[in-house]
Amino acid sequence: MLIPRQEVLTATLLVLIGAGSRYETDRQAGLSHFLEHMFFKGTKNRPTTKEIAEAIDNIGGEFNAFTGEEYTGFYVKVAASQLLTGMDVVADILLNPLFPAEEIERERGVIIEEIRMYTDAPMHHISHLWQQVLFGRHPLGRRIDGSIETVSKFKRNDFIKYTKQHYHTRNAVVAVAGNYDEAKVVGLLQGMFAKLPGGKETVPRRAPGVLPQHKFIKEVRDNIDQTHMIVGVPGVRLDDDRRFAANLLAIILGGGMSSRLFISIRERHGLAYAVHTGVQAYVDAGGFATQLGVRSEKSDQALILVFEEYDRVMNEAVLESELKKAKEMIKGRLLLDLEETNALAQFAGVQALLQKKIETPEQLMKNYNTVSAEEIKKLAQELLVPSKRAVAVLGPNKSIERVQKVWH
């Protein structure tokens, strides 16, 4: 997939593989993420991590990877004149990995410390609890990085088998965005990635369509001062036409410093520093939630305020001025993001991988512009009903008890 932008000075190659945490069995939890790390640990042509890193450092590039629930991505962003070198390095790590046993053992320790780091960070760990609330024992309900127990047991053969299962032409998208010579890039891509083996497209286990019975999850931590909460409901899937209204509703409720929840909880009542409402969208499921870290003595009041704003947007149509502002925020943020070639490659690549089609920024904005205040209200009435609401909370025990009283 080619996205030319001759006016910029950089170029990005992104390779997306349909391999993420939702494709793993319970025993494999964290394998997609661990495997992502291992691709950087030596190839037939560049046997050490240092040689791989130097190949990109020598051309002043940016080289990284990421793992999500539904895909893993590898990208290099470089000065336009250095793209072919960057492409060679990415192709090398994906086509010629060594997975040295000694590096697996060393990286195992790194990942275990990464798991501990995010567990110790309440703002991160609360999102893990929220996934459990929303998806229960489904793979979407697990941490992307797995657990210390599962990560401790992976063998070299696990990486080899998982790579053969997921890393193939039917399960990959290659995107190049920025300033480049199209003929050279096409020729190089055909030569490099034609070496990826064929295979069957991976089909994930279907996500649950209803909220699990446990709609309240808590984790007591008496050694922290703040109480962290995520309050939300099941949302819309990636191909749902209501996703445009859902994103606008999220902006209106908690998408900026002038949003309803930010004004109410932070500016009016002084209960939190950070308040944010967002949308999660997967191929067959979704979530809609507000995250906040609040003063523990007032955690119950904060939850009441969230519920009040949810009720209000269900019962009263949003103002036209609010809706116009939300549309402009989405448009502005999208255009600002797409000034970066790596964001442009991901914007197109993720759509191609998960939706099998690509909507341009102009097409997306056209869809947003047609959403009415009445549609926002209708969606709020469908999503935000009290019977669908769920809470994940982490903090001191006394604070959690206050939250539970409001919940019940």
Cα dist. 311→21, 130, 233, 249 in Å?
34, 21, 13, 13
Instruction: Assess whether pLDDT exceeds 80 at residue 45.
Output: yes
d(CA 26, CA 57): 38
Q: What is the per-residue pLDDT for 360?
A: 94
Q: What is the per-residue pLDDT for 170?
A: 87
**Mean of the per-residue pLDDT values for the chain?**
94
Q: Do domains 2-193 and 216-407 have the same CATH topology?
A: yes
The per-residue pLDDT for range 271-290, each reduced to its tens digit, is 999 999 999 999 999 999 99
Total H helices, total E strands in the chain: 16, 10
Q: How would residue 197 be classed by pLDDT, with cut points 50, 70 and 90?
A: confident
d(CA 177, CA 15): 12
Instruction: Assess whether pLDDT exceeds 60 at residue 213.
Output: no
d(CA 76, CA 68): 18
Instruction: Assess whether pLDDT exceeds 60 at residue 327.
Output: yes
Instruction: Assess whether pLDDT exceeds 70 at residue 68.
Output: yes
Instruction: Assess whether pLDDT exceeds 80 at residue 210.
Output: no
Q: What is the per-residue pLDDT for 202?
A: 62
Q: What is the per-residue pLDDT for 290?
A: 98
Q: What is the per-residue pLDDT for 199?
A: 65
The per-residue pLDDT for range 151-164, each reduced to its tens digit, is 999 999 999 999 99
Residue numbers annotated as active site: 36
Structure tokens at 278: 């967002």
Q: How would residue 207 be classed by pLDDT, with cut points 50, 70 and 90?
A: low
Task: Give the torsion sign (CA, 332, 126, 24, 105).
Answer: positive
Cα dist. 305→46, 233, 270, 386 in Å?
56, 16, 12, 14
Boundaries of every domain in the chain: 2-193, 216-407
Measured from the Cβ of residue 32, the count of other Cβ atoms closer than 10 Å reads 26
Q: How would residue 83 be classed by pLDDT, with cut points 50, 70 and 90?
A: very high
Q: What is the per-residue pLDDT for 408?
A: 77
Residue 92: name the closest of 134, 43, 126, 131 by CA: 43
Helix (H, G, I), strand (E, B) or coil at 184: helix
Q: How would residue 190 be classed by pLDDT, with cut points 50, 70 and 90?
A: confident
Of 192-196, 294-298, 362-366, 393-397, the one with minimum mean pLDDT is 192-196
Element (H, E) at 156: helix 156-166
Q: Quick one: what percent of the chain has pLDDT higher than 70?
A: 96
Which CATH architecture does the domain made up of 216-407 adopt? 2-Layer Sandwich (3.30)
The CATH number of domain 2-193 is 3.20.20.70 = no
Q: What is the per-residue pLDDT for 191?
A: 84
Q: How would residue 66 be classed by pLDDT, with cut points 50, 70 and 90?
A: very high
Q: For residues 52 and 46, is the Cβ–Cβ distance under 8 A?
A: yes
Q: For residues 189 and 174, is the Cβ–Cβ distance under 8 A?
A: yes
Instruction: Assess whether pLDDT exceeds 70 at residue 203.
Output: no
The per-residue pLDDT for range 18-42, each reduced to its tens digit, is 999 999 999 999 999 999 999 999 9
